Amino acid sequence: MAIPQLTQNVDRIVSARHPDPFSFLGPHLAEKGQGLVIRAFLPLAQRVHVVDLRNGKVIAELPKLHEAGLFAGPVSRSQQRFPYRFRIETAAGEQEVEDPYRFPPFLGELDVYLIAEGKHLRLDEKLGAHIMTMDGVAGVGFAVWAPGAGRVSVVGDFNNWDERRHPMRFRVECGVWELFVPGVQEGTLYKYSVMTKKGDLLPLKLDPFAFFCEQAPGTAGIVTDIERFRWHDNKWMKQRGAAIDRDAPVSIYEVHLGSWRRNVDAGNSYLTYPELAETLIPYVKDMGFTHIELLPISEHPFDGSWGYQPIGLFAPTSRFGRPDEFRDFVDRCHLAGIGVIADWVPGHFPTDAHGLGNFDGTNLYEHADPRQGRHKDWGTLIYNYGRYEVADYLLNNALFWLEEYHIDALRVDAVASMLYLDYSRPAGEWVPNAYGGNENLEAIGFLRRMNEVLYEHQPDTATIAEESTSWPMVSRPTYLGGLGFGYKWNMGWMNDTLAYMSRDPVFRKYVHDRLTFAILYAFSENFVLPLSHDEVVHGKGSLIRKMPGDRWQRFANLRVYYAYMFTHPGKKLLFMGCEFAQEREWDHNSSLDWHLLDDPSHQGMQRLVRDLNTLYRGERALHEHDCEPDGFEWIDCTDVESSVISYLRKGKDPADFAVVVCNFTPVIRQSYRIGVPRAGRYLERLNTDSALYGGSDVGNAGAVMTKPIACHGREHSIDLVLPPLAAVILLPE
C-alpha cells in the first residue's frame, strides 16, 4: 500500500472518520501477495501480539503505527485467513481480546435483498442488537439502517463510549451498517455514533430496534435476550380470535399503568410489571372486563406524553421492569382469560436528539418538508410513509408486538392525522396529493398494507382505529375499498351522548336526537364505544363531574348512561377510574382515588359496572349482533317530551332478546306502556335505580306480565314503572 494512502487510512481510523473500516482493519493480503497482514486499532494497548487459535501460539507482534493505538504488521506468509486473537499489554496488565474485524458479515444475502426491497417482515430478527455466536465466539451482532451516514460506530459500556473503537461495516446493497462485537454481554448499554457524509458528528442515537432501554433520563439501549422467555398461554392463543370476534362480548378496561395504582409506601413509585400482575389482573377479572387496553407501552422519554410520543418502538417501557417481566404480565393476563390490547403509535414521533429525527444526517424517517413532516399541535415529526423502508419498519413493529409479546390487538392512535394532509393545518401550510386532494395517499396505502399483512399472518388478532372523522369504510376489507381495520372507535357516539348527558334533564328534550342519531350509522362500521382517557383530561373533568344536578342526580345520570352504553350496539371501552366514578380529573402523576370506594355511592357505581359486564357477557342478545343491524330494533325513540327511549337488543336466535328502557329525567313514570315481541313474563334483570347501586329502589318488583294490549305496533305490551334517571333491562322468562 502506498505511503500516502496508508497515512490517509490511519488518520481516518484514529479520527473515527473511515467510511469502510473493514477495507483496512483486520486481516488483509499483503502487497504483491506476500502473505497476510493484520491491522488493529487498540487505543488502550501498549503492545499487541497475535495468537493463532489453531494451536494457541503467539505468531507475531504488531508494531504500533500511530500513537493513538493503531497497530499493524505481517503475521503469515500464507494468504489463507485463520482464527486468531490479540494478546495485549495495557497499563492494567495483560489480556486476550477478539478482533471484530476478522469476522464475516452476519446478514445473509436474502435478508439484504428483502431489506432493500422493503419486504422483510421480521426485521427485528436481523436489525438491532442480537446475542449470537460466530465461529465459536460469543458476542452481540449490531445492525442499524442508516443509508445516508458517512460512518456509524457502535459505542457503549464495552468500549468506553469511544466511537473510534468499533466502526461498522456498511452494506451498501441495503443501507445497513453491521458489526459483530465479541464479548459483549446481556445488560450492556449501547448507542450508535453517526457521522454524516459531510463529516458532522450527530448526537448519539438510540437503536431504532432496541428491545430494552434505560429509564429516563438515560437514553441508551440495553442488550437483552428476547428469545429466552417461555410462554404458558397455549390454550388462550388457540382461541384468542374468538374473544375479539364481532359476535363476541368485548368489554375493554383502558389503563395507564403508571397511574392505575401507585406504591404509596415507597415514595409513590410505580408498580412493577410483577406487582401489576398481582393486583391489576385479578381486579379486571373480578370486574368482568374481557380485555385490558394499555396506553402505549413502547418506550417514551416524557411521562407527560402518556406514551403517545414513543422513541423506542420495539422496547416495552422500562418504567415498570424488564421485557420478560412484561411478557409474564401478558402471559398471566391470558391465563386469567383476559386479552391484552396495546395502543400503537405509527402517526408521529418526538424530536428528541437521540431519536429517529435526522437519524443519519438526512430526513430518513420523516418528511423533509415541514408542511408534511411536522405536527405543529404536538411538536412531533411525521413518518414518511412513501419511503418503503420506513413503512416496513412500522409494519415490522406491529407484527413484533403481536408475535413476540402475544398482544391480542393493536389500537392504532390518531389515524385521522395520518389520513389527511391538511389535518390541523390552515390553508397554505399543507401539500396536496398528486390529484390535488387532501388525502394522504401514502399513509392510506401503508394502513391498507399493514392490515392486510397483520390479518394474513396473525388472523386471530385485531386492529382498532382511533379515527375521529367520517372517513368511510375504515373497518371494511381492503378488497372492498376499505382501510381493513377490525374495529373503529365511535367518536361520534361519544361526543353526542356526552353532550346530551351534560344537559340539565329539563332541556334534554331539545337535543333528543343526540341520543338517537348514532343508530342511523351504528352498523356502517364495526364500532367500539369509547369512554376513554381523552374525555377525562385537559380540563374536561371526570365523567361524574360532567353530569348535571345534585350529587344523587349526578350518580344516577352516570348509572343510566353506563346502562345505555352497555346495551347500545358496539363493543365497550371504559377508562380506569370511571368504573367507580372518580371525582377528579385523571392525573398521570398520581394513583386513582381508590379511597373513594369507602363511599357507598362509589361502591354502587363499581358494582353496577361489574353487573353490566356480567350481563353483557352472559346474554347473547347484548353482544352477538353488536355490529349487525339485525341486533337492534327501536320500540320507541320518539318520546321526546319524556326523554325516554326503549329498544330491543337481539341475538342470532330469535328467542334471544332483551328489552331496554331508559328514563333520562328525574321523574318517576308510572304505568309506562311499551310493546314487546311476545306474550309472557318479563324479568327485570337489571335496574340502575336499585339500592345496590345507590339508587332509590323504584322498580317493578322483579318482573312484569304482558297484557294483550296493542302498543308500538305489537300485539302485546307491558306496563312499567320507570325509575328516575334510570334504565331497566328486561328479559323474557
Q: Across residues 275-300, what is the average pLDDT? A: 98
Q: What is the pLDDT of residues 624-675, one digit of tens each?
A: 999 999 999 999 999 999 999 999 999 999 999 999 999 999 999 999 999 9
How far apart are alpha carbons 716 and 677 in whole angstroms? 7
CA distance 441 to 454: 20
| Position 79 confidence tier, pLDDT thresholds 50, 70, 90 | confident
Taking 50 as the threshold, does the pLDDT of residue 1 lie above it?
no
Beta bridge partners, 291, equal: 252, 339
Positive or negative: CA dihedral 568, 570, 571, 572 = negative
What local confidence, expressed as pLDDT, does residue 31 receive? 79
Would you tell me how many other CB atoms lie within 10 Å of the CB of residue 305? 18
What distance in Å separates the CA atoms of residue 47 and residue 56, rounded to the nearest whole number?
A: 18
98 is catalytic: no
**3-102 CATH, one of 2.60.40.10, 3.40.50.970, 1.10.340.30, 2.40.160.210:** 2.60.40.10
The two beta strands, 251-255 and 128-134, are unpaired
**Which candidate in 214, 328, 404, 466 is catalytic?**
466
- With 0.75 as the threshold, say if the pTM is over it: yes
DSSP 3-state of 189: strand
Mean pLDDT for the chain overall: 96
Phi, psi (degrees; rounded to nearest 5) at 47: -135, 150
Predicted confidence at residue 396, as pLDDT, reads 97
Instruction: Give the separation between CA 441 and CA 649, rounded to whole angstroms.
Output: 39
> Strands 251-255, 262-263: parallel, antiparallel or unpaired by DSSP?
unpaired
DSSP state, residue 690: S
Q: 617 near 251, Cβ under 8 Å?
A: yes
Digit-coded pLDDT (tens) for 514-573: 999 999 999 999 999 999 999 999 999 999 999 999 999 999 999 999 999 999 999 999
CATH class of the domain defined by 109-222: mainly beta
Task: Tell me which DSSP letter residue 79 carries.
Answer: -
Judged against a pLDDT cut of 80, whether residue 227 lies above it is answered with yes
CA distance 560 to 727: 5
Confidence band for 127, pLDDT divided at 50, 70 and 90: very high
Alpha carbon distance 310, 344 (integer Å): 9
Residue 344: pLDDT band by 50, 70, 90 thresholds?
very high
**Helix and strand numbers, DSSP H then E, in the chain:** 14, 37
- Per-residue pLDDT at 706: 98
pLDDT at 450: 98
More confidently predicted of 679 and 33: 679
User: Which residue type does 381 have?
Assistant: L
Neighbouring residues of 244: CB distance < 8 A, sequence distance ≥ 6: 250, 291, 339, 408, 409, 461, 462, 486
Q: State the pairing for strand pair 47-52/84-90.
A: antiparallel
Residue 238: count other Cβ atoms within 10 Å of its Cβ.
10
- Which helix (H) or strand (E) is 489 found in, with range? strand 487-489
pLDDT at position 32 over 80: no
pLDDT interval class at 266 (50, 70, 90) = confident
583 pLDDT higher than 80: yes
Sketch the domain layout of the chain as residue ranges.
3-102, 109-222, 630-732
Cα 585 from Cα 578, distance rounded (Å): 10
What DSSP element (H or E) covers 730?
strand 726-732
Give yes or no for residue 33 having a pLDDT over 80. Answer: no
Phi and psi torsions of 441, nearest 5°: -65, -35
φ, ψ dihedrals at 413, nearest 5°: -75, 145
Domain range 630-732, its CATH number among 2.60.40.420, 3.40.50.300, 2.60.120.620, 2.60.40.1180: 2.60.40.1180
Looking at the DSSP bridge assignments, the partners of residue 463 are 410
Name the band, by pLDDT with cuts 50, 70 and 90, for residue 80.
Answer: confident
Taking each helix axis as running N to C, give the angle between helix 234-243 and helix 323-335, from 0 to 180 degrees, rounded to the nearest 10: 70
Q: What amino acid is encoded at 17 in this protein? A: R
Of the listed ranges 80-84, 101-105, 129-133, 236-240, the one predicted with least confidence: 80-84
pLDDT tens profile 324-333: 999 999 999 9
Active site residue 466: yes
- Concatenate the DSSP letters of all residues of 245-308 into one string: STTS--EEEEE-TTTSSEEGGGTTEEPPHHHHHHHHHHHHHHHT-SEEEES--EE-S-GGGTTS
Q: Which of 293, 413, 611, 624 is catalytic?
A: 413
pLDDT value of residue 3: 60
Mean pLDDT of all residues in 604-612: 98
Q: Which amino acid is at 418?
A: M
Q: What's the whole-number mean pLDDT along residues 592-617?
A: 98
Same fold? 3-102, 630-732:
yes
Does 2 score more than 60 pLDDT?
Answer: no
Q: What is the mean pLDDT of residues 372-386?
A: 94
Q: Which residues contact 154 (CB under 8 A, 6 or more apart)?
A: 142, 166, 168, 179, 181, 190, 191, 192, 193
Mean pLDDT of 114-136: 95
